[in-house]
Amino acid sequence: MQERHRDRQKYFEEQSLTTLRHVVPYLTQTNSLKAGMRILEIGCGEGGNLAPLLELGCEVVGVDYVASRIALAEKQFEKHPLRNKLTLEVADIYDWNPERPIFDLIIMRDVIEHIHDQDRFMGIVKRFMHSESHFFLAFPPWQNPFGGHQQICSNRWLSKLPYYHLLPKFLYKSILKLAGESPKTVDDLLEIKETGISLERFERICSARRFEIVDRTWWFINPNYEIKFGLRPRKIWSFAGLFPYFRNFYITCGYYILKNTEKTTD
């Protein structure tokens, strides 16, 4: 298992730095992020993505259904000078009813590929948006070399082996068990096999739920890889994105900014 998956402090710092270097500039350039906005992160974990947003003077709310992750976030921010602008909550987004439920920007990084029934989820998110709100998502297409999140494996070889998550479930499970992966790791990886999402399916859901794609950027080298592996982020060449389905095998991350086209009550 990679060190970053054991050391949650390191993971927090990596998340924060990637958001600062890549997500904040992307959102700013597309006019989706401005100082003073009210922002929600769904699946915030330890809160690494939240720190750069606080520095912009935004009011930030982080929600995660895993209590231990929120506890870590509370510890990370307990002495932060802008702690009064941050709210952290343990909640299931489907049942969450905040006092102030409307946000200018919603963000999700590497979360939607873990969610069951993504179509239903995309409908639920709308309840937290007004007519000018934007929704930023970043996620790895399921078919990309490490779309199965096999980098969390403790086996050194399996953690670096690409594409084998695409094998039939019974064969994939057998390989993981034979390599000595823990039952929890096996279950987690099999769950991701169920919930992994392609670019095309994501965009079909957006269309069905009446989201406008304001901006879309596909990466050949995921911005996350700069901190993780020392690789310079690279967008795909324009012609490389012209091949539906096949592009999922070499696009390692999609950045999307969405806007709700349905009428909302502001």
Burial (CB count within 10 angstroms: exposed 0-12, middle 13-18, buried 19+), residue 221: middle
Structure token digits, residue 120: 């239903």
Long-range contacts of 169-176 (CB under 8 A, 24+ apart): 169/193
Q: Residue 228's pLDDT is what? A: 83
CA distances from 46 to 10, 51, 53, 76, 238 (A): 11, 10, 14, 8, 35
The answer to whether 137 and 35 are in contact (CB under 8 A) is no
Element holding 24 (H helix, E strand): helix 24-29
Alpha-carbon distance 86 to 53, whole Å? 10
pTM confidence score: 0.94
Q: Residue 1's pLDDT is what? A: 45
The answer to whether 165 and 147 are in contact (CB under 8 A) is yes
Q: Mean pLDDT in each 10-residue stretch from start to end of the chain (266 residues)?
A: 62 92 96 96 96 95 96 95 96 94 97 96 96 97 96 93 97 97 96 97 97 97 91 94 95 97 66
Fold category of 3-144+196-260 in CATH = Rossmann fold (3.40.50)
Sign of CA dihedral 71, 197, 208, 255: positive
Q: What is the residue extent of each domain of the chain?
A: 3-144+196-260, 150-195
